[in-house]
Amino acid sequence: MTRNPERSFLPLLAVVATLVLGLFVLRPLLADPVPDAGELEALKAASAEDIRVEVLDRGQTFGGILSRANLSPSEQHALLLAFREQANPARMRDGTEITLRWIRGNEELRGVEVALNPDELVRLDRDAFGWRSSVIETPVWADTVMVAGLIERDLWSAVVLNPDLREMPMGDRARVIDLMDRVFQWQLDFSRQIQSGDAYRLVFERMVRPDGSMRTGRILAAELVNRNTPLHAIWFDLYGDGEGGYYDLEGESLRRAFIRAPLEYRRISSVFTQNRLHPVYGINRPHHGVDYAAPTGTPIMATADGVVTRREFVRGYGNLIDIRHANGFLTRYAHLNSFDSSVRVGARVRQGQTIGTVGMTGTATGPHLHYEMHRNGQPVDPLNVDIPAGDPIPENARDRWNDYLGVRFAMLESLPSAPDLRLAAAQAERTATVDDD
């Protein structure tokens, strides 16, 4: 179920950018229509320009393209000088789009736009004194997406293959999974705890470019029903600085001293999608840790703030890092391919910081991370340990929080619940079976 209940143009772009960009914005829109971008279309009729779009091929130069645009050498020079005030023409990448504009019926080039990257273009205009240049940021608008899904096989396919996200580019759907992983990183190890029959409901905000791709995104509200237990995450900007944090329905912070898994779910799932049920061999005995299969070179994160107490090669473990944390905790990361240069014995590390990469040093038949957690010298299960939480919503922000929570929770509740989704899936299966007869 995809809806767009909130949609607002960012202040800057509505007036300025649409007028200034004119047909440049329209051209990609017309070629590949973007849903809900109707506001821009009115400009189509206003054009009295001829436009040619060139794409920089391997071996071509900006100057080469300009020389085919009826420019005198001195004018070409002046235009390049103006361009250099914004960017280096020698460093333009293959595939850069260059738009040339003429007034209809006039041979004299009037303007040039160079799309430096998906978010910026250099605009060159001719006036009475020559060529002037400026940088324009590509317009971006906020789009709120609401979606629900049942996890039948794994989280990856439940999100990426959700038909209600089909209008989103594939890369953006993968980013939604990253965002979910981030939101619930203190509560769940997605690779080990998500089960068939789990369900999700999400409200997330995308900052969308004219081509429909996501520039940034943020989950505003999420529900993950894991083994029939709903977990909630509501984003709330407590300090009004745009950073914000995630809280459950009681206003308790989701943040914990430890994240559950030292690898991003997506990195692990890339192995698991093809080969989900294969066990990882090369286990050290006695085995007191968790093994994560992941490609060599996958970044490993410190699961909590701490101090590095070991960084060395050990028989069996291979390249090993131990980190000491508050409250008698220690974490261990083994079989590393490489250590991050910031990791020395005695160095402080932060939660989420990259400390090294996955490998298969020591006794290991395939690349994987061996992860251990100890408390007061005893191995503990990272998924079954009580961990200190972050601060809840303070009293003086409770009214604002309650208002905000009401709105966000209503949005979540408007989406199909886990039982709804299970019922729909069961009905779909029954229908399919009947069709087979």
Site residues (CB under 5 A) for Zn ion? Answer: 283, 289, 291, 370
Query: Measured from the CB atom, is 206 or 370 closer to Zn ion?
Result: 370
Query: Measured from the CB atom, is 131 or 371 closer to Zn ion?
Result: 371
Neighbours of 232 (CB within 10 A): 20
Query: Measured from the CB atom, is 188 or 369 closer to Zn ion?
Result: 369
Helix or strand or coil: residue 218?
A: strand
Looking at residue 95, the DSSP 8-state letter turns out to be: T
Partners of residue 375 on adjacent β-strands: 329, 378
CB 324 → Zn ion: shortest distance, Å? 20
CB 373 → Zn ion: shortest distance, Å? 12
Q: How far apart are CA 398 and CA 171, in angstroms?
A: 37
Query: Measured from the CB atom, is 58 or 315 closer to Zn ion?
Result: 315
Query: Measured from the CB atom, is 80 or 283 closer to Zn ion?
Result: 283
Both tokens of 75, joined, read: 């004018």
Looking at residue 213, the DSSP 8-state letter turns out to be: -
Query: Measured from the CB atom, is 37 or 283 closer to Zn ion?
Result: 283
Query: Measured from the CB atom, is 27 or 288 closer to Zn ion?
Result: 288
CB 321 → Zn ion: shortest distance, Å? 14
CB 114 → Zn ion: shortest distance, Å? 52
Q: How far apart are CA 308 and CA 315, in angstroms?
A: 19
Q: How far apart are CA 378 and CA 258, in angstroms?
A: 17
Q: At what angle do helices 265-275 and 170-183 cross, to 10 degrees?
A: 120
Q: Which residue is nearest to Zn ion (CB)?
A: 370
CB 360 → Zn ion: shortest distance, Å? 11
Both tokens of 189, joined, read: 């190890």
CB 284 → Zn ion: shortest distance, Å? 6
Q: How far apart are CA 27 and CA 145, in angstroms?
A: 26
φ, ψ for residue 101, nearest 5 deg: -125, 135
CB 281 → Zn ion: shortest distance, Å? 10
Query: Measured from the CB atom, is 272 or 409 closer to Zn ion?
Result: 272
ω into 139 cis (within 30 of 0): no
CB 369 → Zn ion: shortest distance, Å? 8
**Which residues, including other chains, have CB under 8 Å from residue 132's CB and lie 6 or more apart?**
82, 124, 125, 126
